[in-house]
Amino acid sequence: MNKSLRILFVASELTPLMSTGGLAEVAAALPPALQHAGHDVRIALPCYRQIPQEARGVVITACEASADGYARRGALRRTVVPDTSIPLYLVEHEDFFGRDGAYGSGSYEYTDNGERFSFFCRALLDALEKIDWQPDIIHCNDWQTAALPIFLKTQLQARPFWQRTACLLTIHNLAFQGRFNPVHMPGTGLDMALFHSGLLEYEGDVNLLKGAIILSDQINTVSPRYAQEIQTLEYGAGLHEILASRHDDLHGILNGVDYSVWHPSRDPLIAAPYTQDNPEGKKLCKQALQDTFLLPRSNVPLFGIVSRLHWQKGIDLIVDALEQLVQQDLQIAILGSGDGALEARINDAVRRHPDKIAVFLGFDASRAHAIQAGSDFLLMPSRYEPCGLSQLYALAYGTIPIVRRTGGLADTVNPWRPGMPDTGEATGISFVPLTPQALYRSVKKALVLYQDGASLRQMRQRAMAMDYSWERSCKDYISLYRRCLEKKQYS
């Protein structure tokens, strides 16, 4: 029988304490699944100013990290993740983390982020030694935790305390790499020789993620397709050759869905519950959504969008296709915020077509759930998508996703091919060309499907039957943790 593992899950975000995106949801969902599987899992997070005092627990040790010739001192707090029994370590440093926002304020990104998160990593390692808790696995997430394997492999490799600890690096989005000017390198506590040797150098900048890719025991992304894509020039963001060189150690594991939060049978934020076998409540959810967004006609297909309004998400394709789309008998409900130019174009389209397009600029959880439950289709034409969560939520709610066939969207949505024999597998509609015309053609397919009530019902039932639970993904992570330990043992 495999022994229980001691796992430290290290992240820069954690719902509900600090969240800017999907990483925070993963950090809140995967560790409980690991704990349920019998492992000793703990989470580490910077002690941001936004974390309420009552959620910070108590200081259990001082900690420090040397940089620029002196020791920066902080503290390690211990508490528990809200509404769980999972231990949470908070690394406290007022100058670094007592600020607005995790990475910046407004549109301004902090210029010392490399120093801030390097301190977080090195001080955390110092604190773990002081409290004498030795993890088998340190699970690192994105560039903010990339300094962990770098410190372990270049400064602490001779210490007996760390001899049996292995590192897994999860890349949630390769676009964010922790790049900064080398003038900030001394402030990280990392040896400048690591930059000059090329380990941390990329196009004249320091690149922390590059170093972590090279030094981690194993690497994964959040879908199998994205793990393949990032080894190519098109998707590799400059690191494709390094990633390809670690092909045997690079894996793809899909993110999961927290079905206690995202399931139409028990969702308190939607107008009526419904299930795969009793779907009548979805009609009430559609009516409620149309009332909320002031869309007048209930007998036409309703397309939902829940997204950052950003280039990566392909929202410009939707905006460019809007004039064609509104010529069809349909309605569109949009929830999101982001690029100001895209917001302005969407608002202009709403003014010209108020009976067909409605938008709420910003994020609102109730509206997000309402769109997933009340829409007939969900539009998600991403340029790239490491995993994607919205399409997984849509499947659970029987809302047919229309996606671009990339990354996790390709792994999770089985495409419908009208005119071809029904193989009993289709759960959505997908397209490949990155053009408004390709998106428009996919919407036209959806309109055909909508008119075929029997086929639409069958596809909804198949979609709702899909299992993308964290329990499923958890098993893959446990296997990968053991692979990390095997590599550590024989390296």
Q: Residue range 241-266: average pLDDT?
A: 96
Residue 489: its pLDDT value, please? 76
- Residue 371 shares a structural domain with residue 332: yes
Flag whether pLDDT at 349 surpasses 80. Answer: yes
Tell me the residue range of the domain where 89 lies: 6-256+471-490
How do residues 297-337 score in pLDDT, each as one tens digit? Answer: 888 999 999 999 999 999 999 999 999 999 999 999 999 98
Band of residue 66 on the pLDDT scale cut at 50, 70, 90: very high
CA–CA distance, 379 with 193 (Å, rounded to integer):
48
- Residue 111 shares a structural domain with residue 148: yes
Flag whether pLDDT at 474 surpasses 60. Answer: yes
How do residues 278-302 score in pLDDT, each as one tens digit? Answer: 999 999 999 999 999 999 888 899 9
- Is 269 inside a domain boundary? no
Residue 105: its pLDDT value, please? 81
Band of residue 409 on the pLDDT scale cut at 50, 70, 90: very high
**What percent of the chain shows pLDDT beyond 90?**
90
- Is 22 inside a domain boundary? yes
- Residue 310 shares a structural domain with residue 406: yes
Flag whether pLDDT at 436 surpasses 70. Answer: yes
- Residue 97 shares a structural domain with residue 16: yes
- Residue 387 shares a structural domain with residue 416: yes
Cut 0.85: pTM above it: yes
Q: Residue range 455-470: average pLDDT?
A: 95
- Residue 143 shares a structural domain with residue 163: yes
- Is 261 inside a domain boundary? no
Band of residue 22 on the pLDDT scale cut at 50, 70, 90: confident
Band of residue 422 on the pLDDT scale cut at 50, 70, 90: low
Residue 332: its pLDDT value, please? 97
CA–CA distance, 256 with 218 (Å, rounded to integer):
20
Residue 419: its pLDDT value, please? 66
Residue 26's CATH number: 3.40.50.2000
How many domains are contained in the chain? 2
Residue 433: its pLDDT value, please? 95
Q: Work out the mean pLDDT of the chain and round it to a whole number.
A: 95
- Is 325 inside a domain boundary? yes
- Residue 199 shares a structural domain with residue 288: no
- Is 441 inside a domain boundary? yes
Flag whether pLDDT at 64 surpasses 80. Answer: yes
Q: Residue range 254-273: average pLDDT?
A: 95
Residue 159: its pLDDT value, please? 95
Residue 427: its pLDDT value, please? 96
Flag whether pLDDT at 1 surpasses 60. Answer: no
How do residues 363-401 score in pLDDT, each as one tens digit? Answer: 888 999 999 999 999 999 999 999 999 999 999 999 999
Flag whether pLDDT at 445 surpasses 80. Answer: yes
Residue 287: its pLDDT value, please? 96
Band of residue 269 on the pLDDT scale cut at 50, 70, 90: very high
- Is 175 inside a domain boundary? yes
- Is 265 inside a domain boundary? no
- Residue 24 shares a structural domain with residue 132: yes
Residue 100: its pLDDT value, please? 87
- Residue 85 shares a structural domain with residue 133: yes
Question: Of 346, 344, 338, 290, nearest to 310 (Cα)?
Answer: 338
- Is 263 inside a domain boundary? no
- Token couple for 110: 């902090």
- Residue 456 shares a structural domain with residue 485: no
